[in-house]
Structure 1
Amino acid sequence: MNKSLLYLFLIFLAGCSDSEKISPRVFFGGEIVNPTSKYVVLYKGDVVIDSSALDTNNMFSLQLDSIQDGLYYFKHAPEYQNVYLKKGDSLLIRLNTVDFDESLVFSGKGEEVNNFMMEVYLTKEHEKRIVDDYYWLNPAEFSRKIDSLQQQKLDLLSDLNIDFSLTDKELEIAKADIIYNYAMFKERYPFKHKRLAKAKKVPKLDEDYYAYRKNLTYNNEDFTYLRPYYEFMVNHFGNLSYMSCTHGCDIKDKMAKNHLHFNKHKLKLIDSLVVEKQLKDNLFRNVAVDYLLKVHDTEENNKIFMEVFRALSGDNRHMDEVNDLYSGIRNIQPHKRIPSIDLTDYSGDQVSLTTIAKDRKTVFYFWSASNKKHLNDIAKRIHYLSQHEPKYNFVGINVQTNLDEWKSLVKVKGFDPNNQYRSDNFEKLTKTLIIYPMNKCIITDNEIIVDAFGDIYHSFK
């Protein structure tokens, strides 16, 4: 029996009488059109449950002897999406990576809740543009609009439950998927409205506006990896920290402008309110990465932040990642020598960063073949800067591009081969130079770092 017929047979079995005894086994498979990876990997949280290689027809199949009913996600690099699995499911998917989310369809036993959550997800993505217009409204009108959108989805879920009798956990997950998404919009509103209105302060909100917070939970393990729930929590703790700092902390102008103070405050709030370990770890990680990567604070302030982070979350399962990020940032502070990491030049020889930067003012920038728009934009920018900023030597470092394609693109884009390098060790390069975002550049003067977090578009005007 070929795989296509086997899948059809499994669908038939999934439709058999409900009176049959439910097997603890789960089948999850399907077809990936225009695959971008050789595998499909199934996760529960951040733990790999199983994986399957695509066959010659771009199909995969996973058979799980026993699972915990709940939310999972499958990854076909670089994309991923949630899937709800319960004992006895025989679930198929079909998707086209050109439109990964939009093309994803579930069929078989377990399809109802998954297709519903997928439709809600796509609708919410469309609604984000609508909600952008709502942020202009006063608090009461904004709240009414958001509540109306939420109730529409809850009514659809109620109808689905009547038709298909969802399990209690399916219903709980699907409901949370709706409620926390719209609660997230409410958490964002004060700050979005302030920016749009160009006001000095966030709008005054009465207790009724935040009435939804009374029903929040910080400790439901089943919600931890539900995207709207996590995104809500990130925004929620940002809101709580801002409001409590603004009204309760002794800082300049009673405003949360002190990044170190604000992020320490956020860590302490998370520690005091969240009990569920995985959620707490993930939220702590979010604060640390956001602060270290985006604030570009002083070396002393970074050190103080890390002391607080380690004191509150010393057993965080993301600790190695955060320590590596902190170490990398500490090593590329102003007035320090640029790290001596080896790169490969156009002729195939190994050259260190320090050698490239020696005896000249150098600007290191980054590009990849995978991002065509960025590559085209960066090529134009470098041609312009090379003519208008002659005191600098502009050096390109390529990431995640094979050797032949790299050499070809250097010629096609008109880069100077003498100033182009690449690395086969993307992980080491990223940890050492903290390549984020891709518009980042590193400015040095005779091997000494001037600015390791420059922007190729804004640092030269």
Structure 2
Amino acid sequence: MNRILLFLFLPLVICCSEEEKKSPTVFFAGEIVNPTSEYVVLYKDDVIIDSAKLDTDNRFAFTLNSINEGLHHFSHSPELQYIYLEHNDSIQIRLNTIDFDESLVFSGTNGDINNFLINMFLTNEDEQYLIKNSYCRLEPEAFDAKLDSLKELKINELKDLQTEITLSKGALEMANASIDYNYFIYKELYPFYHKRRNGENTLHPVSKDFYSYRKDIDYEGKNLTYLRPYYNFMLWHFENLSFMECKEYCSTHDKKVKNKLHFNTHKLRIIDSLAKGKELRDNLFRNVAVDYLLKVHDKQENNEAFISEFHKFSKNNKHIAEIDSLYIGIKNIQPANKIPNLMVVDVDGNTKSLQEISKGKKVVFYFWSATNKRHFNNVVARVANLTETYPDHTFVGINLRTDDLRWKTMIGSHKLNPETQFRATDYRDLEQTLMVFNDRNKSVIAEDGIIVDAFANLYKSF
């Protein structure tokens, strides 16, 4: 949205007295058009500060006696977006969930910086395809020139804003970071995307000045850890550093990094050596652990070696309980283990266990929900083809997050075999135990109650 036109619709902010400016109280309210939930939830970092229920006019309001100034988030399930708050702010929003981010408008004190941040967010989304698919094909010097040109537009927009209002030191830091780190991301990913887009066999060399911005990186991240451009940059930055160092100094075949255990423990070491802020370190270590455990699907002895390294480098991590639980869960569904004795119900309301369903035959459990109709239709078509191709397999659908009546209606309307359709009685337990939340095309192959592959994929494993 054109920022100048936007400001014409914002109400004038009445100047506050010096006494009011010192007040720590914050008022945050708004209207949600086409609401998808009854509540708006406010977060500081990853901690819930408060929640407010929509009234009959789909309006909500928070009155906060005191806050930690800086970047916050608010959610209206399933969406989440920024809000920057300082003492004595009185901010209102209006949005339509049909176009959640695009329709979001802030007014009131600090409305300007919040509109700037959402505008940067939307602009960055719009630029992604162009940069990744077009600019990354260019030689490094030409790529740099294109990025600098786009970045200059944002810097000038921020300068224009500063001529109209006075931004606090914290707000200005957040605005600059939302510009800088977004473009730093593209510098980090450039070698990999350039190689992929141009079909090259090796990473394209860049000059020694290509990464000159790294000398100014804030590894503390005190106020920036939950700013998406900053955190996403950190993910790419440590991926790049780990890959380059491992490729250069570690023993690899043909300079290709293939050992996932080695690479991810190498990444833990680099994060430990550079990242300073505890919040940033905790989140980065968590990201490496979740990424390795859920995506690599390594053998148990490697998983055990990784979790040992994780504990060594990430002591007192606030996510330790979550990672340990994830590790134990994955350990329990390794090949040759019994499939967890989770309970499901059939169309007649009879309760059966997964072990019972797979007894004496080879079963492929797949998962679907009524909340994603496109995925459901694709899965139904895929399973129909696989059933013909693999007549020795029994394909069993397990429904998640759908009420009983709608589930049965969908089985009938799509002419699914009711004898091979079940519904989870405790879908959260099933999702967590079988790690279903990680991949919507996930399937679990079991034979006579024993796991063959708990990380199979309907499209890649057959």
2:30 is aligned to 30
Task: Report the secondary structure of 2:42's partner residue.
Answer: strand
Q: Deviations over 1:143-185 (max 9, x none)?
A: 1111211121011111101211111110001100110000001
- 1:227-257 Cα offsets, whole Å, 9 max, x none, are 1000000000000000000001123323221
Q: Is the 8 A contact 1:73 1:82 kept in 2?
A: yes
Per-residue deviation, 1:334: 1.4
Maintained 8 Å contact 1:180/1:228: yes
Write the distance in 2 (CA, Å) between the matches of 1:264 and 1:376: 40
Match of 1:16 in 2: 14
- In the alignment, the residues of structure 1 paired with residue 120 and residue 154 of structure 2 have an alpha-carbon distance, to the nearest angstrom, of 7
Residue 169 of structure 1 aligns with an amino acid whose one-letter code is G
1:112 aligns with 112
CA contact (8 A) 2:338 2:449 kept: yes
Question: Where does residue 458 of structure 1 map in the other structure?
Answer: 460
Q: Which runs of 5+ in 2 are unaligned?
A: 1-9
Matches for 1:55-66 after TM superposition, within 5 Å: 55-66=55-66
- Matched-pair contact (CA < 8 Å) for 1:224–1:230: yes
Mapped to 1, the partners of 2:34 and 2:42 lie a distance apart of 19
Query: 1:18 Cα shift?
Result: 4.3
> Within 2, Cα distance between the matches of 1:361 and 1:410?
22
2:309 is paired with a residue whose SS is: helix
Give the structure 2 partner of residue 290 of structure 1: 291
* Aligned-pair identity (%): 49
Q: Secondary structure at the match of 1:74?
A: strand
CA distance in 2, matches of 1:214, 1:183: 12
CA drift of 1:122 comes to 0.6
For residue 15 of structure 1, what is the amino acid of its counterpart? Answer: V
Partner of 2:401: 400
Q: Distance in 2 between matches of 1:276 and 1:369?
A: 42
Take 2:221 and 2:378, find their aligned partners in 1: how far apart are those partners?
A: 45
TM-score normalized with structure 2 length:
0.95
Q: Is the 8 A contact 1:400 1:426 kept in 2?
A: yes
Quote the offset at 1:387 in angstroms. 2.5
State the Cα deviation string for residues 116-166 of structure 1 (Å, max 9, x = none): 111111111010111021010011111111121112101111110121111
Which SS does the other structure have where 1:72 is aligned?
A: strand
- Partner of residue 266, structure 1: 267
Task: Give the structure 1 partner of residue 446 of structure 2.
Answer: 444
The equivalent of 1:214 in structure 2 is 215
Q: SS of the residue aligned with 2:137?
A: coil
Question: Matches of 2:341 and 2:202 in 1, distance apart?
Answer: 47
Distance in 2, matches of 1:98 and 1:181, equals 26
- Pairing 1:306-321 to 2, within 5 Å after superposition: 306-321=307-322
Which residue does the alignment assign to 2:92?
92
Letter of the structure 2 residue corresponding to residue 69 of structure 1: E
- SS in structure 1 at match of 2:71: strand
Output the amino acid matched with 1:115: N
Query: What is the alpha-carbon root mean square deviation over aligned residues?
Result: 1.3
Who is 1:409 aligned against? Answer: 410
Q: Match of 2:13, as an amino acid?
A: G
In the alignment, structure 1 residue 198 sits paired with structure 2 residue 199: yes
1:324·1:431 contact (CA, 8 Å) conserved in 2? no
Secondary structure of the residue aligned to 2:83 is: strand
Q: Matched residues in 2 for 1:300 and 1:208: separation?
A: 42
Mapped to 1, the partners of 2:15 and 2:140 lie a distance apart of 51
Aligned residue in 2 for 1:148: 149
Do the aligned partners of 2:84 and 2:113 also contact (CA within 8 Å) in 1? yes
User: Which has the larger displacement, 382-391 or 332-341?
Assistant: 382-391
Q: Is the 8 A contact 2:343 2:353 kept in 1?
A: yes
Asked if the contact 1:395/1:420 (under 8 Å) is kept, the reply is yes
Q: Residue 339 of structure 2 aligns with which residue?
A: 338
2:81 is paired with a residue of what secondary structure?
Answer: strand
TM-superposed deviation, 1:318? 1.0
* Conservation of the 8 A alpha-carbon contact between 2:41 and 2:75: yes
- 1:60 is paired with a residue whose SS is strand
Higher mean Cα deviation, 68-77 or 417-426?
A: 417-426
Structure-2 residue corresponding to 1:419: 420
Q: Deviations over 1:61-104 (max 9, x none)?
A: 00011112200000111110010011111111111111111111
Q: How does 1:168-247 map to 2 (within 5 A)?
A: 168-247=169-248
* 1:7 paired residue number: none
8 Å Cα contact 1:191/1:202 also seen in 2: yes
Cα distance between partner residues in 1 of 2:145 and 2:227: 25
TM-score, with structure 1 as normaliser: 0.95
**Equivalent position of 1:5 in the other structure:** none
Letter in 1 for 2:243: Y
Q: Which amino acid aligns with 1:178?
A: I
Aligned 8 A contact 1:400 1:424 in 2: no
8 A contact 1:339–1:354 mirrored in 2 = yes
Secondary structure, counterpart of 1:230 in structure 2: helix
Which amino acid is the alignment partner of residue 14 of structure 2?
C
Alignment of 1:40-59 (within 5 A): 40-59=40-59
- 1:17-76 CA-partner distances (Å, limit 9, x unpaired): 244531321110101111111110000001111110111111110001111220000011
SS at match of 2:63: strand
| 8 Å CA contact retained: 2:343, 2:425 | no
Question: Secondary structure in 1 aligned to 2:363?
Answer: strand
